[in-house]
């Protein structure tokens, strides 16, 4: 059969410090030629089809039940395939898509403000700092409108105006109002829509649901993905599930930082296991640090909470002009003594600049000594201790005086309540304190236009893949991409592969299956038998500190090299000294976490290597060595206009570059001024 991607031979080189090697160039071979407006239709027409009568003979495994996985499972079930759907939670409705707050973009132009498919495409590529693939992003913009139609038909209660039509609001990085929302719970409502569609398929028997199951290995037979090894998290049984194709919809890996806005269970294990089996990992260092999160309260904090970006529509961000004002009650600081720094530096976009810019400026203000909130001792990269405040104000006084407290409550009530509950401060009375936190990972498993990975028959969708957001994701685009992949893209591309199925039957006694099972069992036995002195969480926290310090909002050559060394030491210590209580044949949450953290070590190392090799700043990846005179991210297009796709090769990963071609959008240094 045809190879899934084209490799061009180039000489293999090894970098001087031996951290990685460079391999052959990589290209997407699935996007058809012709004008960009016609590519998706052309691909849909050219893709091979599967006769409806044959679909029920084909089995598709989908791992994950969030917007991408749940939507794909429901849609493929409706199409008639035999779907096996897995999630680690107790119900598919818990997937972390549910926590998305602000909204979902769609090029509907319901507001008559000059929006269009092309503008959404343009905004997304520009917002991603010109590191996304044009073809994929155009398609995303193209299917966006149908997502809203689909969700409304399912009963998703989007916000409406008094005339009964849908309401919109604006989001960061754009100047049109194209964001559809359901109060501050848009993700919840969209996910419940997908979940209901999924349960409908479970009821008719096209989808079989495996909740409380965790994928621990991918089964590859004769070069094709043919199944997974999953652990039943209640009984500990190691199960083999075979299929004709496997889809990963397992979300992002922000929990490598320990503290993030991700759910506690979010992990990279499925993607990483696939990576180790041959799936390339794209742009692992592209991490989104979200500007509006509730600041960290102390060492025992387990997760961070996002305050939706939609708050930046009406909230004004500021810090005191003078450091000596920082411990004052903010209400006592006079207007002329406040620095509304985003409005000052970026007059055109103001508080609605993209996330990477808002985050970095918040960090800069705090680094200057003008942060607010409690001062904490922070270890600096040179080892010294600095007493510093990590927070900026997000102030609603203006909007409250304009539309009243009730008006604000109608827009953001649940967010204000959540803030009050967590911090014991009333944001109607005193400004919120916010600080950036890890929120989303643009990087992920490399896929082609069909969303197939470099392993034949293995697909990756949603946040799990790398494809649409470049080096920075715009607000309200994650929900759009998850549902685009799940409802519309994958169900129209996977048929091209399945048309050649059924593939030769795989026996549960096949050597590849037995090897996968044995590998999983051995790893579990090892984790349980080390019986060291440190808990899994203590390792995870330490890894998170390293990642945040050296691979967080600002990265340097020296820091990243140091981080790689520290991670390797910590990983070795983990495998020597971790303590995992209990047995496999039980409901054992310590064992679950241990396996996830073990994979985070390997991923963290690759993220640092990727960040080290990319000696430019772009989007969420800010290299201190590469900035404009006024401190903005400085790209180097002549050298780094490519996707960094990494092949697993033990300690020395192999870099495959996929060149990015911009035919429709002119490369520019981003400006939001």
Partner 1 sequence: MNITLRVWRQAHGAPKGGMQTYQMQDVSPDMSFLEMLDLLNEKLTVEGIEPVAFDHDCREGICGMCGVVIDGSAHGRGASPVPTTTCQLHMRSFADGATIDVEPWRAGGFPVIKDLVVDRTAFDRIIQAGGFISVNTGSAPDANAAPVSKVDSDRAFDAATCIGCGACVAACPNGSAMLFTSAKITHLAMLPQGQPERWSRVKGMVAQHDAEGFGNCTNIGECAAVCPKEIPLDMISELNRELMHALFKKDAK
Active site residue ranges:
355
Candidate list 78, 239, 378, 577; residue touching partner 1; CB under 8 A: 78
> Does residue 189 touch partner 1 according to CB under 8 A?
yes
Look up residue 139 and give its two tokens.
């398609």
Shortest approach of partner 1 to residue 667 CB, angstroms? 35
Of residues 39-58, which lie at the interface with partner 1 (CB under 8 A)? none
Q: Which of 151, 73, 58 is nearest to 108 (CA)?
A: 151
H-assigned helices in 258-396: 269-276, 341-345, 355-367
The minimum distance between CB 198 and partner 1, in angstroms, equals 9
CB of 480 to partner 1, least distance (A): 14
* Binding of residue 413 to partner 1 (CB under 8 A): no
Report the alpha-carbon distance of residue 473 to residue 316 in Å, rounded.
22
Interface mask (CB under 8 A) for partner 1, residues 463-502, using x and -?
A: ------------------------xx--x-----------
Helix (H, G, I), strand (E, B) or coil at 14: strand
Contacts of 220 (CB under 8 A, 6+ apart): 226, 277, 278, 455, 512
Strands (E), 298-379: 316-320, 338-339, 375-379
Contact region for partner 1 (CB under 8 A) — 5-13, 190-198, 220-228, 626-634? 190-198
Instruction: Candidates 215-223, 256-264, 497-505, 603-611: pick the segment binding partner 1 (CB under 8 A).
Output: 256-264
66 binds partner 1 (CB under 8 A): no
d(CA 399, CA 419): 18
Residue 306 contacts partner 1 per CB under 8 A: yes
Residue whose C-alpha is closest to residue 182's, from 195, 196, 197, 193: 193
Sites for partner 1 among residues 441-460 (CB under 8 A): none
For residues 438, 293, 544, 651, the Cα torsion angle rounded to the nearest 10 degrees is 0
Q: Among 10, 29, 264, 624, which residue interacts with partner 1 (rule: CB under 8 A)?
A: 264
Per-residue contact flags (x/-) with partner 1 for residues 193 to 232, judged by CB under 8 A: --xxx-xx-xx-----x-x---------------------
Q: Do the beta carbons of residue 453 and residue 446 sit within 8 Å?
A: yes
What number of H helices and E strands is found in the chain?
Answer: 17, 27
146 forms part of the interface with partner 1 (CB under 8 A): yes
> If binding is defined by CB under 8 A, does position 430 make contact with partner 1?
no
Crossing angle between the packed helical segments 490-498 and 67-79, to the nearest 10 degrees: 60
**CA atoms of 601 and 291, how far apart (whole Å):** 26
Pick the piece of the chain touching partner 1 (CB under 8 A) from 345-353, 531-539, 561-569, 655-663.
531-539
CA atoms within 13 A on the CB side of 125: 25
Report 605-624 residues binding partner 1 (CB under 8 A). none
Binding partner 1 by CB under 8 A: which of 62, 104, 263, 489?
Answer: 263
Residues 553-592: x where in contact with partner 1 by CB under 8 A, - otherwise, as a string: --------------------------x-xx---xx-xx--
Alpha carbon distances (Å) from 435 to 32, 173, 371, 373, 392: 43, 19, 9, 10, 6
89-128 residues in contact with partner 1 (CB under 8 A) are 89-96, 98-99, 108, 110
Shortest gap between Cβ of 269 and partner 1 (angstroms)?
15
In the window 149-188, what residues touch partner 1 (CB under 8 A)? 149-155, 157-166, 182-183, 185, 187-188
Q: Which is nearer to partner 1, 234 or 667 (CB)?
A: 234
Alpha helices in 368-484 (DSSP H): 397-423, 478-483
Q: State the number of binding residues for partner 1 (CB under 8 A).
A: 84
Q: How far apart are the first and last CA of the chain?
A: 51
407 binds partner 1 (CB under 8 A): no
């Amino acid at each position: 059969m045809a190879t899934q991607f084209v490799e061009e031979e180039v000489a293999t080189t090894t970098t001087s410090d031996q951290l990685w090697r460079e391999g052959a160039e990589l290209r997407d071979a699935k996007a058809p030629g012709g004008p960009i407006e016609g590519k998706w239709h052309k691909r849909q027409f050219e893709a091979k089809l599967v006769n409806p009568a044959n679909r029920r003979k084909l089995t598709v495994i989908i791992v994950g039940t969030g917007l991408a996985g749940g939507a794909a499972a429901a849609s493929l079930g409706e199409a008639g395939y035999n779907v096996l759907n897995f999630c680690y939670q107790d119900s598919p409705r818990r997937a972390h898509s549910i926590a998305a707050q602000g909204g979902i973009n769609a090029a509907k132009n319901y507001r008559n403000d000059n929006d269009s498919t092309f503008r959404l495409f343009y905004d997304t590529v520009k917002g991603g700092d010109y590191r996304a693939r044009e073809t994929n992003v155009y398609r995303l913009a193209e299917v966006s409108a149908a997502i809203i139609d689909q969700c409304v038909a399912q009963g998703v209660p989007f916000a409406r105006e008094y005339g009964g039509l849908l309401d919109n609001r604006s989001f960061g990085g754009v100047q049109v109002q194209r964001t559809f929302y359901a109060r501050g719970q848009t993700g919840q409502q969209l996910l419940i829509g997908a979940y209901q569609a999924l349960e409908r398929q479970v009821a008719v028997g096209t989808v079989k649901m495996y909740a409380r199951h965790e994928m621990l290995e991918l089964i590859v037979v004769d070069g094709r993905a043919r199944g997974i090894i999953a652990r039943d998290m209640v009984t500990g049984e190691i199960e083999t599930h075979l299929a004709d194709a496997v889809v990963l919809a397992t979300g992002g890996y922000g929990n490598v930082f320990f503290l993030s806005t991700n759910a506690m269970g979010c992990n990279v294990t499925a993607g990483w296991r696939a990576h180790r089996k041959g799936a390339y990992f794209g742009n692992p260092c592209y991490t989104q640090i979200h500007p509006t999160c509730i600041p960290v309260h102390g060492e025992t904090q387990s997760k961070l909470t996002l305050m939706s970006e939609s708050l930046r529509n009406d909230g004004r961000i500021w810090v005191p002009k003078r450091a000596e004002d920082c411990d004052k009650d903010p209400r006592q600081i006079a207007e002329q003594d406040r620095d509304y720094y985003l409005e000052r530096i970026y007059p055109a976009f103001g508080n609605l600049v993209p996330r990477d810019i808002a985050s970095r400026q918040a960090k800069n203000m705090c680094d200057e000594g003008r942060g607010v909130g409690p001062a904490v001792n922070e270890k600096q990269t040179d080892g010294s201790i600095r007493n510093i405040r990590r927070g900026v104000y997000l102030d609603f006084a203006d909007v409250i005086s304009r539309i009243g407290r009730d008006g604000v409550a109608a827009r953001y009530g649940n967010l204000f309540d959540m803030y009050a509950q967590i911090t014991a401060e009333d944001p109607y009375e005193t400004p919120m304190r916010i600080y950036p936190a890890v929120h989303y990972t643009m990087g992920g498993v490399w896929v082609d236009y069909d969303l197939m990975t470099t392993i034949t028959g293995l697909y990756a969708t949603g946040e799990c893949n790398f494809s649409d957001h470049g080096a920075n994701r715009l607000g309200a685009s994650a929900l759009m991409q998850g549902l685009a992949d799940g409802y519309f893209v994958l169900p129209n591309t996977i048929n091209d592969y399945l048309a050649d199925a059924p593939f030769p039957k795989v026996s549960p006694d096949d050597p590849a299956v037995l090897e996968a099972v044995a590998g999983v069992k051995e790893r579990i036995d090892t984790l349980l038998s080390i019986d060291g002195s440190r808990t899994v969480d203590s390792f995870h926290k330490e890894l998170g500190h390293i990642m945040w310090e050296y691979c967080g909002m600002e990265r340097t050559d020296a820091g990243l090299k140091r981080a790689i060394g520290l991670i390797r030491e910590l990983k070795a210590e983990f495998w020597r000294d971790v303590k995992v209580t209990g047995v496999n044949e039980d409901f054992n949450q310590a064992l679950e976490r241990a396996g996830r953290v073990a994979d985070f070590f390997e991923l963290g190392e690759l993220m640092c290597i990727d960040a080290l090799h990319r000696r430019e700043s772009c989007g969420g990846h800010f290299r201190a060595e590469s900035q404009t005179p006024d401190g903005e991210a400085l790209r180097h297009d002549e050298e780094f206009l490519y996707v960094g796709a990494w092949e697993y090769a033990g300690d020395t990963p192999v870099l495959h570059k996929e060149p990015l071609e911009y035919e429709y959008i002119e490369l520019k240094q981003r400006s939001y001024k």
